[in-house]
Amino acid sequence: MICNATPQKTRYRAQRQEAQHLAVFMLVVMTACTSIFAIGLMQAVSNTKNIPASTQAIEVSLSLIAVIGSWFLTHTMFALHYATCYYRQDFMNKEFGYAGGLDFPGDDLPDYWDFMYFSFTLGMTAQTSDVSIPSLSMRRLALGHGMISFFFYMVILASSVNIASGLL
């Protein structure tokens, strides 16, 4: 869907997915947060018992896979959500000449790769590089995205310290 979508296909899919997209988006964000909470609980339990090193290695590996998967899924869902908001019919801003509250450089309409670029750049660096956010509602969405990203990094850092101290 994302790999070979033209701007026209991106707009078409984003407009068609609008109704169910918010529910799926919220479910994914809640699932990602729940998985991080579960990883923390698993690490807390594993530190309190005498567990063989092989089992600890499996738990650490599964925790790492879960965090990376949750992180990737969350930013991908934010990218799809940005596309949905950008191409919503009732969200067009005729006064400024762009739709959806994101101002991408160049004259071409953005496709999914542009939204992935924006989402992952914002999620990894807490800044927007060359895409501006003139819309109030998109800035609020980007703020939530940045806060969730910060939470991910905080949990990853805390988990790394916890794992390293447990292995010593």
**Assigned token pair, 131:** 């895409």
SS3 state of residue 108: coil
Residue 79 falls inside a structural domain: yes
Q: How far apart are CA 35 and CA 159, in angstroms?
A: 13
Q: Is residue 108 part of a domain?
A: yes
Range of the domain at 156: 53-167
Residue 29 lies in a domain: no
| Domains held by the chain: number | 1
Within a domain: 151:
yes
Classify residue 27: in a domain, yes or no.
no
Residue 155 resides in a domain: yes
Say if pTM beats, i.e. exceeds, 0.85. no
In a domain, 9, yes or no: no
What distance in Å separates the CA atoms of residue 60 and residue 113, rounded to the nearest whole number?
Answer: 32
**Other beta carbons within 10 Å of 119:** 23
50-90 pLDDT, tens digit per residue, is 777 787 778 777 777 877 888 888 899 899 889 888 887 66
Instruction: Give 141-160 pLDDT, tens digit per residue.
Output: 899 899 888 888 887 787 77
Domain of 133: which CATH number? Answer: 1.10.287.70
